[in-house]
Amino acid sequence: MRTEIDEESELFRETTRKWVDKQFPKAWCRELESKEHEFPQAFWDKLVDYGAHGIGIPEEYGGLGGTITMQSIFAREIARTAGGLSWIWGVTSFSGSKAIGYCGTEDQKQKYLPLIAEGKLKTAMSYTEPGGGTDLLGGMKTSAQKTDGGWRLNGEKIWSTLASNADYLLVLARSDREVAKRSDGISMFFVPAASEGITMTELPKLGMRAASSCSVYLEDVFVPDELLLGEEGKGWYTSLKPLNNERLVNAATCLGMLDGVLEDAVEHLKTRNAFGGPIGRFQALQHYVADIAMWQKQGELMVHHTARLQEEGAPNAVESAMVKTLCSEYASKAADLGISILGGMGYSAETDMQRYWRDSRLLRIGPVSNEMARNQIAESFGLPRSY
Ligand SMILES: Cc1cc2nc3c(=O)[nH]c(=O)nc-3n(C[C@H](O)[C@H](O)[C@H](O)COP(=O)(O)OP(=O)(O)OC[C@H]3O[C@@H](n4cnc5c(N)ncnc54)[C@H](O)[C@@H]3O)c2cc1C
């Protein structure tokens, strides 16, 4: 298990941390997050200035280059102050640059990656349907029918985060129903969000309120052949590589939230007084800190290890499921303890614990639920598939 990061990555982490502290103070992120369905353009613009959308995109396609380790370091560092708002960056990173980078043709890479790197093209992921997110294949009703020069898409997606701000949607649809295995006959499309026939509604939700999650309705939407991503009918297999990357980025995001919880908790323990001195002298509260610190260290080792596997192109489906499950549960438990440490102020909308708590809770449900991730991990030990 290789868990160390090299000198270049460490330098990148230090530089990013300083930049995040200056550009994304927690109070500002808290205010942005509270504005439901209001895309934080100023946040996006700062990411553009830093070149953040080019992280992980090869230089030949206009990106900054950089490894998956750097992508996960960046996800962690911005989530430390921005919490779930960091998905403003993350969604295009895993659904745009990674999906096109992994699955696109040379023409698609040349056309779209430079635009993504420059921050001129936003993407969103429209996989989940109202009929089921865990049983994605069983619940999938969206169809893609071949027509002259392209495809006609019909169906409904749910929870497509940032779809209402995106230029392109990554859509999975069933293109062939006559298949032996239900994972066959699915195709992946890169669909302009402004296409005729697409309508959306923004859904109210518990956390990450500024990053709208949407129902997306597709009614006879024409998608030209050149916007098929990967091989026709093999979209499910094509989607797996970016999906594992999405799990890793989400794990790193959770780790960043845990970092934010820990620093706020320690600060409060040193400055809040009760019974004649700082509450940080109480052993019960010190144990909370020790637990959070142990989760932080475990999460960090696992994130670096999984990033390394993805960089090397080694099998990583199980590790990606593990790291996402561990980090989301650690972040969620840490934020809960953080609320206890801050007492009433932990529940206040004027501090960040409640934001970390709301945002990290989501990542136990999606992008894959932790129950389903555990099924996958258990199955890798030769146990029968439970579903
Ligand atoms: C805020 C938010 C943002 C999202 N963003 C996106 C996005 O950008 N793009 C996108 O495509 N999707 C997105 N999703 C969808 C997300 O991936 C799904 O919600 C998730 O996969 C769970 O699916 P579901 O909600 O349909 O729950 P269900 O599949 O109905 O599951 C309900 C419960 O049953 C459990 N369950 C189901 N099957 C099994 C089984 N075999 N074994 C054990 N337990 C099982 C689940 O773990 C869960 O606890 C988002 C969701 C939310 C809430």
| Confidence at residue 231, expressed as pLDDT on a 0 to 100 scale | 94
Residues facing 236 on adjacent strands: none
Mutate to test the pocket of ligand 1, among 89, 159, 376, 386 (most ligand atoms within 8 A of CB): 159
| Confidence at residue 242, expressed as pLDDT on a 0 to 100 scale | 86
How many whole angstroms separate alpha carbon 124 and alpha carbon 161?
6
What atom of ligand 1 comes closest to residue 161's alpha carbon? 8
11: pLDDT confidence band, cut at 50, 70 and 90? very high
Q: Which two tokens stand for residue 55?
A: 């992280």
| Confidence at residue 357, expressed as pLDDT on a 0 to 100 scale | 98
CA of 298 to the centre of ligand 1 (A): 25
CA angle 170, 176, 178 (to 5 degrees): 150
Please report, as a single letter, which amino acid is at residue 315.
Answer: P
Lowest-confidence segment of 89-103, 251-265, 316-330 by average pLDDT = 89-103
96: pLDDT confidence band, cut at 50, 70 and 90? confident
How many whole angstroms separate alpha carbon 96 and alpha carbon 101?
8
On whether the 7-122 domain is CATH 1.10.540.10, my answer is yes
Q: Which two tokens stand for residue 232?
A: 């026709």
Report whether pLDDT(293) > 90.
yes
Per the prediction, the chain carries an average pLDDT of: 96
H runs (alpha helix) in the chain: 7-23, 26-34, 41-50, 68-82, 87-92, 98-103, 106-117, 136-139, 235-271, 283-312, 317-342, 353-362, 370-379
Q: Is the dihedral of CA 378, 384, 386, 387 positive or negative?
A: positive
Q: Which two tokens stand for residue 289?
A: 């800190």
Q: Which two tokens stand for residue 69?
A: 């380790």
Report whether pLDDT(1) > 80.
no
Mean pLDDT to the nearest integer, 89-118:
92
Q: 107: how many CB neighbours lie within 10 A of its CB?
A: 9
| Confidence at residue 240, expressed as pLDDT on a 0 to 100 scale | 86
Q: One of 33, 77, 129, 246 is an active-site residue; which one?
A: 246
What fold characterizes domain 237-379?
Answer: Butyryl-CoA Dehydrogenase, subunit A; domain 3 (1.20.140)
Please report, as a single letter, which amino acid is at residue 351.
Answer: T
| Confidence at residue 93, expressed as pLDDT on a 0 to 100 scale | 85
What atom of ligand 1 comes closest to residue 386's alpha carbon? 41
In the 8-state DSSP scheme, what is residue 129?
Answer: B
Asked about 246 being catalytic, the answer comes back as: yes
Q: What percent of the chain has pLDDT over 70?
A: 100
CA of 135 to the centre of ligand 1 (A): 8
Q: Where are the domains of the chain?
A: 7-122, 124-233, 237-379
What are 330-383's pLDDT values in tens digits? Answer: 999 999 999 999 999 999 999 999 999 999 999 999 999 999 999 999 999 999
65 three-class SS:
strand
Mutate to test the pocket of ligand 1, among 85, 128, 324 (most ligand atoms within 8 A of CB): 128
Find all residues with CB under 8 Å of 339, minimum gap 6, and list them. Answer: 346, 347, 353, 354, 357
CA of 33 to the centre of ligand 1 (A): 22
What are 153-202's pLDDT values in tens digits? Answer: 999 999 999 999 999 999 999 999 999 999 999 999 999 999 999 999 99
| Confidence at residue 241, expressed as pLDDT on a 0 to 100 scale | 82
How many whole angstroms separate alpha carbon 47 and alpha carbon 53?
7
Report whether pLDDT(7) > 90.
yes
Q: Which two tokens stand for residue 149?
A: 């020069």
Please report, as a single letter, which amino acid is at residue 128.
Answer: T
| Confidence at residue 234, expressed as pLDDT on a 0 to 100 scale | 95
Mean pLDDT to the nearest integer, 258-277:
98
What atom of ligand 1 comes closest to residue 387's alpha carbon? 41
| Confidence at residue 3, expressed as pLDDT on a 0 to 100 scale | 75
What fold characterizes domain 124-233?
Answer: Butyryl-CoA Dehydrogenase, subunit A; domain 2 (2.40.110)
What are 213-265's pLDDT values in tens digits? Answer: 999 999 999 999 999 999 999 999 988 888 999 999 999 999 999 999 999 99
CA of 96 to the centre of ligand 1 (A): 21
Regarding pTM above 0.85, the answer is yes
Rg from Cα positions in the chain: 21
